[in-house]
Structure 1
Amino acid sequence: MARTTMRRMTRIALALGAAMTAGAGAWALTAPHDASSGAPGRPVVLELFQSQGCSSCPPANANLNAIADRPDVLALSFGVTYWDQLGWKDTFAQPAFTDRQRAYARGLAAQLGTPQMVVEGREDLIGTNAREVDAALRRARPAMDATVTLAAGRVEIGAGRAPKAGADVWLVRYDPRVRQVAIQRGENNGKTLPHRDVVRELTRLGGWNGAPVRFAAPAAKEPALRTAVLVQGKDGGPILAAARF
């Protein structure tokens, strides 16, 4: 418990410092991504791991909200469960999302804590500094090692280059609407926090070894949810291909 608290306090201190830096410049995440740096039509995948019960998360959440409509970015917000004991249980959090962040922590040799943004499964940052987020998006070189299609309830991954250990195919369902969450306890007590692109479903469809493969795609539990498909190296590896529908 003491070690977890120390890690959390370290991340909070770093996040507060980054937030102060970001606030001084009133920077907006509106600069266009250089499309020539990645595959045509392939958005950069940015994942935010946050908790409604974390007082240092709102600036990172605001930065994700600011880029949610950018066509060159697939922004996904994952609620984690390990701060639920602080007095407020995150209304969007799922253990599977916590497991995903833990896999990234191992793969990137990163500290587990919130907030954390992961870009393309290759780089992580706190995410409270808008300039740093924009710089990370510009550095990203999104791979498209296979085609990804979704039609008639089937996800198809084409032939391409796969790691020796293979890859996972993930079906992501997320809510693009602004969801206002009134926090009634914990560190953010009394605040109403807007959330966008909140992941509601994360399903591993199966593996991919470079050969064409097809999976049945379960129907979304809510009609308003949008769909994305990620082809990713195992155990929190880099994003190899992605598409949103």
Structure 2
Amino acid sequence: MDKPGRIGGSILMSLLTAVAATPVAAADLQPKVVELFTSQGCSSCPPANANLIKMSNRKDVLALSFSVTYWDYLGWKDTYGRPEFTERQVAYEPALKQAGPFTPQMVVNGASTVVGNDLSEVEKLLAQAAPLKGPALAFSGDHIEIGAGAEHANADVWLVRYDPQVEAVPIARGENEGATLQHTHVVRRLDRLGTWDGSKTSFSLPNKVARLKTAVLVQRPEGGPILSAITD
């Protein structure tokens, strides 16, 4: 027969095991996602970059900076720009009732938008944004675990790799010629892992890259709202 001390220890270990098995991004703990679409060739973008740096310090926000490519023709090719980032922004515009992509644009939870260089308007949009209601997410080794939720079925699962450091980039040409622009949470890789069908499932993740953090987004297709988000 176990002594009281042993029984208490067993109960404590059981509780700790249960807590460890709980998804770390249950719906009520998930961050609000702020995506900045910016360009080093855009003279209006530096204030928006600065605003994202401020928001990147908030625990309740996942800040992501996507460098687009459509301003490269002005004489400076964005050092972080990729066509897939531009495509992501373009996909948002019909659902957000925008005539077309612009910079600096911030999109909150994939569902609302604002000009990114007006911090008060960005904060207002964040305050109004509803908490994410999608499936629970948890990292498990080299996999992302997604909980069940039939009411949210048929969503895209996106892998985002981003640099959490603040980086300074000197600009030699274009509208920001001579300036040194600061960036943070710059997205370096964006991959669609597959489709979540509403059932409990997992997706394998590619090997980690030095310096980069990993985020996973579960999102309605074709620029729809973000349902769930997690970052390591």
Q: What's the TM-score, normalizing by structure 2?
A: 0.86
> Displacement of 1:162 after TM fit?
4.3
In structure 1, list runs of 5 or more residues that go unmatched: 1-37
Counterpart position of 1:223: 210
161, 182, 198: which is aligned to 2:186?
198
Does the Cα contact within 8 Å between 1:162 and 1:209 map onto a contact in 2? no
Asked if 1:119 corresponds to 2:108, the answer is yes
Per the TM alignment, residue 40 of structure 1 is displaced from its structure 2 partner at its CA by 2.8
Matches within 5 A, 1:103-114: 103-110=91-98, 111-114=100-103
Q: For residue 230 of structure 2, what is the aligned residue in structure 1?
A: 243
Contact 1:170 1:231 in 2 (8 A): yes
Aligned length: 206
Q: Which amino acid aligns with 1:130?
A: L
Asked if the contact 1:144/1:242 (under 8 Å) is kept, the reply is no
Alignment partners' CA distance in 2, 1:129 and 1:208: 35
In the TM superposition, what is the alpha-carbon distance from 1:161 to its structure 2 partner?
3.9
Cα displacement string for residues 92-122 of structure 1 (whole angstroms, at most 9, x for unaligned residues): 0111100000000122121311110000011
How far 1:209 moved relative to its partner? Answer: 1.7
**Which is higher, the Rg of structure 1 or of structure 2?**
2
Q: Which residue of 1 aligns with 2:220?
A: 233
TM-score, normalised via structure 1 length: 0.81
Aligned to 1:80: 68
Decide whether the 8 Å contact of 1:46 with 1:73 is kept in 2: yes
Q: Residue 130 of structure 2 aligns to which amino acid in structure 1?
A: R
List structure 1 runs of 4+ shifted beyond 4 angstroms: none
Q: CA deviation at 1:144?
A: 3.0
- Identical aligned pairs, as a percentage? 53
Letter in 1 for 2:155: A
* RMSD over equivalenced CA pairs, Å: 1.4
**1:135 aligned partner:** 124
Name structure 2 gaps, 5 residues minimum.
Answer: 1-25
